[in-house]
Every structure is written in C-alpha cells, then in structure tokens.
Structure 1
Amino acid sequence: MTAVPQPTAALLDGTALARELTARTAESAAELRRRTGTAPCLATVLVGADPASVTYVRMKQNSCAKAGIESRHVALPAEISTAGLVDAVTALSEDPAVHGILLQHPVGAHIDERAAFEAIAPGKDVDGVTTASFAAMSFGLPGFVSCTPGGIMRLLDAYDVELSGRHAVVVGRSPILGKPAGMLLLARDATVTYCHSRTADLRAHLREADLVVAAVGRPRFIRGEDLKPGVVVVDAGYNEGNVGDVDFDSAAARASLITPVPGGVGPMTIAVLLEQTVEAAWRQLVS
C-alpha cells in the first residue's frame, strides 16, 4: 500500500488576519462617523440571481454591517443591456452618498463587462477593477488595489514571506486576479512568471517556483508532485465542493506555507474590500 503524504506545511490563516484587519477598519469607520456624522457606504450591484453571486454579495453585506459600513444593494435583471448596467453604475458613481462600488462578477455573456467596470469612478473603485486602478497599482501610484491580490499580499507580509529576488509563478491571467497579482509581486522585486492555458510544460515552471499563486479555476489542478520542497502556495481558487485549485494534502506535504480553502484568500479579499471602502469614504468626506 502506498503511503498517503501527510500535510507538513504551516497554514497562512486568512480568517484570523482578516478578523484583525476588519476590527481596525471598524475603528476607522467609527472615527469617520464621529467626525463627519456620515458612515461609509458601499453599493453592491448584482446582475441576475446566480446563486453563488447572491451568496457572495450577502456575505459582503454582512461583513459591512460588522465593520460599521452601510450597504446599498442594487439588484438588476439578468437580461439588462450593457447600456442599462452602465447607466446604473454611473448613477452610483455620481451619488455623493455612495463611497464605494462593487459590481459582482460575472455579469452575463451578453454584457460588455469592461464597459460596466469603467463606469465606476476611480475614487469609488474599492474593488480595484478599472483600468485606472490597474495602472495606478502597476506604477505604484495612489489608488485601490484589486482586492484578492491585495489580500494575498497582506497575507504574505503577515507571515514574513520574503519576496525580493524570489521566483513567483502566477497560474492565471484574469484582469482582476492573475494579472494584478503578478504586478504587485513584481513591485516587491519578485521575479514573476505568468502561466495560463497555453503555457507549454506548466509543470516545469511550477517546479522552479519559490511562490505559487493558483488562480486557474480548476479544482485540485496543481498537485504536490508539481512543486519543489519549501515552496509557498497561495490558492486563490474556489470550486464546487469547497476545494481550491491546489490539491491541498499533496501540496502541503511539499510546501513550507499554504493557504487553506476555505479560510485563506477568501476572507482577506473581503477584508481588503472593507478597508478600501472606508479609505474611499475618508478621502471623499475629509480630504
């Protein structure tokens, strides 16, 4: 009988860190309300009624309440046009009572999602999805980072993961996860390799990585035998059955640090969203 590898890696605990970050965010929100009489407000926009998206939006609304952030929900029909969605988002961008906007992804294949994202005013783009936010993040200028990559960086910092000079392999190139994650790592002097569906010999790249960020959207796609000993593994995937893009048990037997799914990247994404919402409100109300 072949022995089953036993996990040896330490966990990158996103739940505990997110709890600390949200507590500090709640203090900032309370101070803002004392100074201005106004609470930060996050508007969530949901197109259609996809069960997973409905759940995600509800989680974010509940998290807002815990952090002293007001939430406004805009539910739109699945058949809405691009123009209709752009109009709805533009109205929120122009509303001074709204300080941050979250357009829940995905929005439907018939909609130009990029056009809808670009209707978010950069100062209210607390999810970091506009081209203005991506450019500011890439050049190290003031702005809002994409929340999941931003949460990943906060998690790596909390666990003192050295990035300068290390080889980071990002598996995935989406505009709100893979691409910005690579840019944030590059800004910290990591050497970054992007891999994707057309990468030749993906496993060869993975075996050279000091840090792997998995954002490919395929359950248990990356396994322990693909990794070198001591690697740091960040699993940003979430698939049916509460599993990530990494086969946890086999990867944990090789890694030095690894994020669990759930409880790793997910809580940090929401924590960064809340933090940036409060930051946006401070800028709009006080600066």
Structure 2
Amino acid sequence: MSAQILDGKALAQHFEEEMQGRVEALKAKAGGRTPILATILVGADPASATYVRMKGNACRRVGMDSLAVELPADTTTGQLLARIGELNDNPDVHGILLQHPVPAQIDERRCFDAIRLDKDVDGVTCLGFGRMAMDEAAYGSATPKGIMRLLEHYQVPLEGKHAVVVGRSAILGKPMAMMLLAANATVTICHSRTRDLPALVRQANIVVGAVGRPEFIKADWIKDGAVVVDAGFHPEKCGDIELGPLTDRVAAYTPVPGGVGPMTINTLIFQTLAAAEKALG
C-alpha cells in the first residue's frame, strides 16, 4: 500500500493564492488599508528570529504587511505588557504574534493573555482556548488549526475515528484534542509519561505526534492503515514519529519537513486576514 502524502507545503501555496485575491478585495473595499500582523521578538534567539522572518515573508507574499517589534533580551514583563497594550490599541494592527519562547525573567503566560481576543490570531490566550473548547468564536492555535485544515482538504474522515494525540502542551496537544473532539472523533490524550503508551497508540486510527522529542513515537507502535500526523521538527531533520518504515503501510502521513510546518504559518496568516476582514469590512 502506498500512503497518501498530506502535502502541507503545496496546500499552503494553494491557500496563499486564494488569500492574495481576498487581500486585494479588502484593500479595495477599505480604501487601500492593508492587513497587518505585528510580530514581537524578545531577545536574539536565532531560531526564533528565523521563524519571525518566515512569518513576515508569508505576509508579504499574499500582499499583507508585517510590523516587526524587536525587544532586547533584558526586557521586563511590564515593558512587554506595555508594548502589547500599544498594539492592542493600534487600529492598523489586526493580529499580534508573541514569538515563543521569551527570556526566563518574563511571565510568558501573563503576556500571552494580554493579547486582545480579536487580535489573538495565533490562538495562545486562555480566553481564546476556552472559547474554542466551548465551540464559541475564537481563533484556533495555529498549529492544530493548520492540521485540521490539512485533514479537511485531503478529506480525511474524522467522525467516529479514534484519534490518539501524544503531547499535552497548551498550544498544540491540548487544543489539538479539543479540535478533533469537535469534529466528532473519539480522542485519547497521551504524553511522555503515559503508561503502556505503545499499546494506546496501536489503537489509533489517527495518530498526532506532538510530544517534542525526535522520533519518540516508534513505527511499530502504529497500526497499518492509520493516518499519521507529525507535528514535530528537530535539528536532526526529523519529527516526533519514526516515519521511514511507515510510508508503505499507513493510509496517509505528513512529511517532515513539508507537512505541518507550512500549514502553521499559513494558518497564522489566514487568521490575520480573517481578523482584518472583520475589522475593516
């Protein structure tokens, strides 16, 4: 059996073409005003700087603007909250991204939660998570929302299926489980300390690797015909799942790289455009 490749890179390019038309239409309707995503980078972590640059480039590819806010590594919680407040009050800013992680002296959760709900396009606030989990209007956390858009496009059936999510982070594992549950999947949430984890993974019709450890989930844990979604990416150029032995016996899988990653950035831009359409439309 040759598995279907859930190609996030190609799908993100397709969605960018669609968004270009929406951005042009919005500009025409709003007198030339452009959707803007504000990105906040605290410190000089090279990986974080690369991610922020990629998000800015994605904005420009669809005709949007990106406002880059760069703060020194010794920034305090109070100083960061003040900048977030300024962006909240700026009517020209439609989405706010605080790049994770921030330096240790900053209360990251407090700063995330300071982002206004209608500008929380990365889906990181407690309010946004709670509303999403209760099926109320909110922007979903970008990576799990990107995964849902990927599964929807490739028409992967979710209703009644058993999905096992390995990982419980606030911006990936937990919202992923809630989104799958809302799509009528039966969801088991596991993590690195789950007892008899291989046996639980073997029950899954859909496996989501979101544990943050290179190839932590082994190929022989996954049953034939499953759908495999790998949300990890590590310097070793691998994800959280041992994908190599799976490509000829699962129904579908996301490649690493080129699967979930492009859809994360695309979803951030997609939700910023939606926020701009609400604000300017």
Task: Please give the range of the TM-score, normalised by the shorter of the 2 chains.
Answer: over 0.9
SS at match of 2:74: coil
Tell me what 2:241 maps to.
246
Residue 180 of structure 2 corresponds to 185
* TM-score scaled by length of structure 2: 0.97
Q: Secondary structure at the match of 1:72?
A: strand
- The one-letter amino acid paired with 1:55 is T
Give the counterpart letter for 1:91 in structure 2.
Answer: E
Structure 1 match to 2:9: 15
Say whether residues 1:115 and 2:110 are aligned partners.
yes
Is 1:34 matched up with 2:53?
Answer: no
Specify the alignment match of 2:218 in structure 1. 223
Cα displacement string for residues 209-264 of structure 1 (whole angstroms, at most 9, x for unaligned residues): 10011011111111210111111000000111221111111232431100001100
Per-residue Cα deviation, 1:184-203 (whole angstroms, up to 9, x for no partner): 00001111111112211111
Deviations 1:41-63 (A, max 9, x none): 00000011111111101111111
Q: Secondary structure at the match of 2:105?
A: coil
User: Within 1, Cα distance between the matches of 2:74 and 2:228?
Assistant: 39
Aligned letter for 1:272?
Answer: T
1:63 aligns with 2:58: yes
2:209 and 2:100 mapped to 1: Cα distance?
A: 19
> Residue 87 of structure 2 aligns with which residue?
92
Under a length normalisation based on structure 1, what TM-score does the superposition of the two structures give? 0.95
Unaligned runs of 5+ in 2: none
Q: CA deviation at 1:22?
A: 1.4
Query: 3-state DSSP class of the match of 1:101?
Result: strand
Which position in structure 1 is the counterpart of 2:71? 76
Residue pair 1:224, 1:254 contacting (<8 A) in 2 also: no
Amino acid at match of 2:104: A
Ranges in structure 1 where 5+ consecutive residues have no aligned partner: 1-6
Q: Contact conserved, 1:8 with 1:256, CA < 8 A, in 2?
A: yes
State which of 252, 256, 280 in structure 1 corresponds to 2:251: 256
SS of the counterpart of 2:187? Answer: strand
Write the distance in 2 (CA, Å) between the matches of 1:256 and 1:233.
Answer: 8
Q: Deviations over 1:83-138 (max 9, x none)?
A: 11111111111111111001111112222111010111100011011112112211
Residue aligned with 1:241, SS: coil
Letter in 2 for 1:16: A
Higher mean C-alpha deviation, range 208-217 or range 129-138: 129-138
Counterpart position of 2:126: 131
Q: What secondary structure does 1:234 align onto?
A: strand
1 CA distance for matches of 2:246 and 2:73?
39
Which amino acid is 2:66 matched to? S
Aligned counterpart, 1:3: none
3-state SS, counterpart of residue 120 of structure 1: coil
CA distance 1:254–1:110, shift in 2 (3 Å) = farther
Match of 1:162 among 134, 144, 157: 157
Given residue 241 of structure 1, which amino acid in structure 2 is its aligned partner? E
Letter in 1 for 2:146: G
Q: Report SS of the residue matched to 2:102.
A: coil
Kindly report structure 1 stretches of 4+ aligned residues shifted beyond 2 Å: 251-254
Q: 1:239 is aligned with what amino acid? A: H
Write the distance in 1 (CA, Å) between the matches of 2:247 and 2:200.
19
RMSD: 1.1
Identity %: 53
